[in-house]
Amino acid sequence: MPSHLTNHVLLQASLWILASSSPAPTARRVFVAPHEAVITPSPVERDATRTYKNRRDILSDLDSDVDSILSNLGSDIPSYVASGVPNFFQNFPVGDDVVSSLGLQSSELAALPTNALNIDPYANWTSSGWNVRFHGNIYKQPNTSTEDLNKFANKFLIGVDITSLPESQQDQARNLTAEIMVVQQGDVAVDTIHLEPAPSQGSSGEPGGGGATEATGGTQDITLPYNTTTEGDFDVFVPIASNGLTAGNETQEVQRLNTYIDGTTLGNGTAYLVPPEGITIVSDIDDILRVTKIYEPKEGLLNSFARPFVPWENMPDIYANWSASLPNAHFHYLTTTPEQVTRNYMQFIYATYPGGSFDTRPLNFSDVTATLSIRKFLLQKVFETFPQRKFVLIADTSNSDVMRDYPEMAKDFPNQVQCIFLRNTTSTDSGDQFPYDTSGFQGLNQNMYMFFKDPNDLTNIDLASGSCYNTSIAQNLTFGYQGLPLGLGDTSAVNGSANKTGAASPLVSRDAAHLRGVCALAVALGCAFWMGL
Ligand SMILES: *[C@@H]1O[C@H](CO)[C@@H](O)[C@H](O)[C@H]1NC(C)=O
Ligand SMILES: *[C@@H]1O[C@H](CO)[C@@H](O)[C@H](O)[C@H]1NC(C)=O
Ligand SMILES: *[C@@H]1O[C@H](CO)[C@@H](O)[C@H](O)[C@H]1NC(C)=O
Ligand SMILES: *[C@@H]1O[C@H](CO)[C@@H](O)[C@H](O)[C@H]1NC(C)=O
Ligand SMILES: *[C@@H]1O[C@H](CO)[C@@H](O)[C@H](O)[C@H]1NC(C)=O
Ligand SMILES: *[C@@H]1O[C@H](CO)[C@@H](O)[C@H](O)[C@H]1NC(C)=O
Ligand SMILES: *[C@@H]1O[C@H](CO)[C@@H](O)[C@H](O)[C@H]1NC(C)=O
Ligand SMILES: *[C@@H]1O[C@H](CO)[C@@H](O)[C@H](O)[C@H]1NC(C)=O
Ligand SMILES: *[C@@H]1O[C@H](CO)[C@@H](O)[C@H](O)[C@H]1NC(C)=O
Ligand SMILES: *[C@@H]1O[C@H](CO)[C@@H](O)[C@H](O)[C@H]1NC(C)=O
Ligand SMILES: *[C@@H]1O[C@H](CO)[C@@H](O)[C@H](O)[C@H]1NC(C)=O
Ligand SMILES: *[C@@H]1O[C@H](CO)[C@@H](O)[C@H](O)[C@H]1NC(C)=O
């Protein structure tokens, strides 16, 4: 067994013993009230008087809790675990940190071109017309030397020196590092965003359709109503003029608009104008659409930083079929990967899967609790934006926030969740040693969800019928923690089928409080691995 894995297993077993006596951090949820179809308030204005706690202070609070537990173990815990939060995900430098790390002069900075990350938006149809959610970041990317990029890349990789990688992988790792070592531009205006009809899907190089047609109009220039946040982010719904666009209540089809932000490079994106009714497929990316192995941190890092992105088995065929057979479906890719690496994810998706709108983790969701709350925050936003659409939610079992949030969405928005599909990563990958909690699924109709092993298990499922369970796939739910060390929590699986009447196994119920403590802590540590990727 590779040493990082040994440590990983050992850590979990130790935590299981130790954490039963110590309260563990739990996720804080962020809820938003539904908005009217008007310009949303500026986060900058609303938070103008707020004193931001330095991220490092928040982290060091958590570090000291974790350190004190780990120091009792006296064992060979790798430093990225002992620090509570591995560098690659929490300590991405931003703004001034980058300026000082690279020793940049303000004149050098001023001379750099301004770049925009224009994350592909969705738009809903309201009484004021199409309402587009523009979101992204304004930043400058310094010209960093190869030596410096190697130095920083080595901080993000675990136990690997970049120079030991094949040349093409070194190149990619440096490119990604350069995307992280950028200087975000806070409190700047985002003007002008230019909109124009986008050619239909077929000719745009995104295979598999995506169910979008060329818009019938919509050419215009707009300026966002607020400046960027201190982190350089923008995220605001703006009603746009029709200028010949087809009304949302007169079409079932998704219309596409090209959008680009003037005066910036790289600021091109595609807006998806989505009618009020239809099916929206909300898909996670890591370990469901591509092979990441986020549960094996060292592999996960190499797969994210250095190696080319690889699709997971024949998932592209499954999506291509959905896109072709449900031409009005809307695809929305929602991942908690950090915003800085969004572009790599978009490039991979658009080359491999149907085109669609995108969400990644904005920069202000950076401490651990905010990291654990971002998925729900983004899910609520898209559900509230399309209250009459049906949603198909897809991910894998290695994300604790998915395991909590997906079934919660089915309970919070009972008329909107059509299907939940979860790849059981443990069933194909013994390297996945992290526990997952299936208790949220208790009480849900088996017809609406399925845990599955291979993409083929999704073949022939008719999303539109709402019958989402392939009866030939054994479900092994205990409605408690599964995948714990030593097989704890798995014992009540009933001959390969869920016990629909219900309760968790006696072991899990008796020790539920302890296990929750363990898992919350494991989550704090584990999610740091998982969610950074
Ligand atoms: C459009 O989206 C906004 C923002 O989420 C939401 O407040 C509004 O209710 C939606 N409008 C309709 C008609 O669904
Ligand atoms: C579509 O919505 C617009 C604006 O709300 C309204 O004026 C129009 O009558 C509606 N059209 C149909 C076919 O319902
Ligand atoms: C970036 O720096 C390298 C050497 O450090 C130099 O050769 C190159 O011209 C610079 N590029 C720009 C756009 O300044
Ligand atoms: C790295 O970035 C350069 C410049 O954008 C590009 O030409 C090159 O193909 C990239 N390499 C990899 C491996 O992504
Ligand atoms: C927004 O940023 C621009 C510079 O891009 C600045 O001139 C303007 O004063 C800012 N507006 C507000 C309301 O802070
Ligand atoms: C961005 O969009 C503009 C306007 O459509 C176009 O001229 C430019 O070529 C696009 N850039 C890229 C990189 O696609
Ligand atoms: C991050 O900013 C958004 C607005 O862009 C705001 O709604 C949200 O509450 C903020 N989240 C955190 C954790 O600060
Ligand atoms: C996932 O797969 C593992 C290994 O086959 C199995 O023990 C477990 O019960 C499965 N979990 C679910 C929820 O199907
Ligand atoms: C449930 O368990 C059976 C027997 O171990 C296994 O073959 C099957 O793949 C599991 N189902 C899932 C969804 O992992
Ligand atoms: C169910 O899963 C099996 C095994 O992966 C597959 O052959 C079959 O096509 C799937 N669909 C249905 C509706 O049975
Ligand atoms: C393709 O997707 C449609 C719609 O969900 C479904 O009815 C059909 O069975 C699928 N075909 C295959 C081969 O998976
Ligand atoms: C299923 O759960 C119910 C409720 O806890 C329990 O009474 C029953 O014995 C369980 N069935 C099996 C086969 O374990």
Same structural domain for residues 134 and 156? no
Among 456, 473, 490, the domain-final residue is: 473
CA 452 to chain centre: 20
Cβ atoms of 218 and 244 closer than 8 Å:
yes
Ligand 6 atom nearest residue 266's Cα: 13
Report the pLDDT value the prediction gives residue 79, as an integer from 0 to 100: 34
Give the number of whichever ligand sits closest to the CA of residue 496: 9
> Is the residue at 490 inside a domain?
no
Residues near 527 by beta carbon (within 8 Å), at least 6 away in sequence: 368, 371, 372, 399, 400, 401
| CB-based contact 401:427 (threshold 8 Å) | no
Distance 394 CA to ligand 10 centre (A): 17
**What are residue 351's phi and psi, to 5 degrees?**
-90, -10
297-305 vs 146-156: helix axis angle to the nearest 10?
150
Q: Which atom of ligand 7 is nearest to the CA of 235?
A: 5
Q: Evaluate: CB of 490 within 6 angstroms of ligand 8.
A: yes
Is any ligand 4 atom within 6 A of the Cβ of residue 171?
Answer: yes
- How far apart CA 125 and CA 129 sit, in angstroms, is 6
> H or E segment at 521?
helix 512-531
Number of the ligand 4 atom closest to the C-alpha atom of 171: 13
Q: Are residues 134 and 159 in the same domain?
A: no
Look at residue 291 and tell me if it is in a domain.
yes
pTM for the model: 0.81
- Atom 2 (ligand 4): residue with closest C-alpha? 175
Would you state the pLDDT for residue 90? 56
Is residue 505 within 8 A of residue 489, CB to CB? The reply is yes
Mutate to test the pocket of ligand 8, among 402, 403, 422, 424 (most ligand atoms within 8 A of CB): 424
Which of 473, 489, 521 lies at the terminal end of a domain, its last residue?
A: 473
Is 3 exposed, middle or buried, given 0-12, 13-18 or 19+ CB atoms closer than 10 A? exposed
CA 341 to ligand 4 center in whole angstroms = 14
Identify whether the C-beta of residue 475 lies closer than 8 Å to the C-beta of residue 457: no
Same-domain pairing of 161 and 237: no
Query: What is the tally of structural domains in the chain?
Result: 2
Asked if 224 and 371 sit in the same domain, the reply is yes
- Cβ of 442 closer than 6 Å to ligand 12, yes or no, is no
Measured CA to CA in angstroms, residue 167 lies from 143, 155, 164, 347 at distances of 20, 18, 9, 21
In a shared domain, residues 340 and 451? yes
First-to-last CA distance in the chain? Answer: 23
Pair 274, 413 in one domain: yes
143 CB near ligand 3 (under 6 Å): yes
Check residue 24 and report its DSSP letter. Answer: -
Residue 167 shares a structural domain with residue 231:
no
Residue where the block lists tokens 């409080």 = 513
Residues 249 and 162 reside in one and the same domain:
no
Rounded Cα–Cα distance for residues 312 and 8 (Å)? 24
- 218 domain-assigned: yes
Measured in Å, residue 248 CA sits from the centre of ligand 2 at 8
Write the residue with the smallest CA distance to atom 2 of ligand 11.
322
- Encode the chain (533 residues) as per-residue pLDDT tens digits: 333 333 333 333 333 322 222 333 333 333 333 333 344 433 333 333 333 333 333 333 333 433 443 343 333 333 333 332 233 455 677 888 888 888 888 888 999 999 999 999 999 999 999 999 999 999 999 999 999 999 988 887 777 899 999 999 999 999 999 998 899 999 999 989 999 998 765 433 454 345 567 788 999 999 999 999 999 999 999 999 999 999 999 999 999 999 999 877 788 899 999 999 999 999 999 999 999 887 777 788 888 888 999 999 999 999 999 998 898 899 999 998 889 889 999 999 988 999 999 999 999 887 767 777 889 999 999 999 999 999 999 999 988 889 999 999 999 999 999 999 999 998 988 777 667 889 999 999 999 999 999 999 999 999 999 899 999 999 999 998 887 655 554 544 333 343 333 333 333 333 333 333 333 333 333 333 333 32
Q: Report yes or no on 285 lying in a domain.
A: yes
Alpha helices in 386-511 (DSSP H): 400-412, 425-428, 506-510
Q: Is the minimum distance from the CB of 314 to ligand 10 under 6 angstroms?
A: no
Q: Do 383 and 360 belong to one domain?
A: yes
pLDDT reported for residue 138: 95
Reduced to 3 states (helix: H, G, I; strand: E, B; else coil), residue 79 is: helix
Q: Encoding tokens for residue 178? A: 């350069």
Last residue of a domain, one of 159, 181, 203: 181
360: in domain = yes
**Is the residue at 453 inside a domain?**
yes
The domain of 271 spans 29-62+78-100+113-140+186-473
Do 295 and 432 have their domain in common? yes
Report the separation in Å between the CA atom of 502 and the middle of ligand 10, taken as the mean of its atom positions.
26
Asked if residue 212 and residue 164 are part of one domain, the reply reads no
CA–CA dist 371, 524 (Å, integer): 10
pLDDT at 158: 73
Query: How far apart are alpha carbons 490 and 524 in whole angstroms?
Result: 22
In a domain, 70, yes or no: no
Q: What is the CATH number of the domain that holds 305?
A: 3.40.50.1000
For residue 321 and ligand 10, the question of a CB distance below 6 A is answered with no
Residue 198 DSSP code: P
Our answer on whether the CB atom of 187 is closer than 6 Å to any ligand 5 atom is yes
- Ligand 11 center from residue 390 Cα (angstroms): 17
Cβ–Cβ < 8 Å for 59, 147: no
The pLDDT of residue 63? 38
Helices (H), 29-78: 43-46, 55-73
Q: Find out whether the peptide bond into 163 is cis, omega within 30 degrees of 0.
A: no
CA 416 to ligand 8 center in whole angstroms: 27
Query: Residue-wise over 489-501: b if at least 16 C-beta within 10 A, else e?
Result: bbebbeeeebbee
The ligand with the least distance to the CA atom of 418 is 11
Within a domain: residue 484? no
CA of 455 to the centre of ligand 9 (A): 14
Exposure letters 110-141 (e unless 16+ CB within 10 A, then b): eeeebbbbbbbbbbbbbeebbbbbbbbbbbbb
Q: Give yes or no: residues 176 and 196 share one domain.
A: no
Helix H segments across 157-267?
167-180
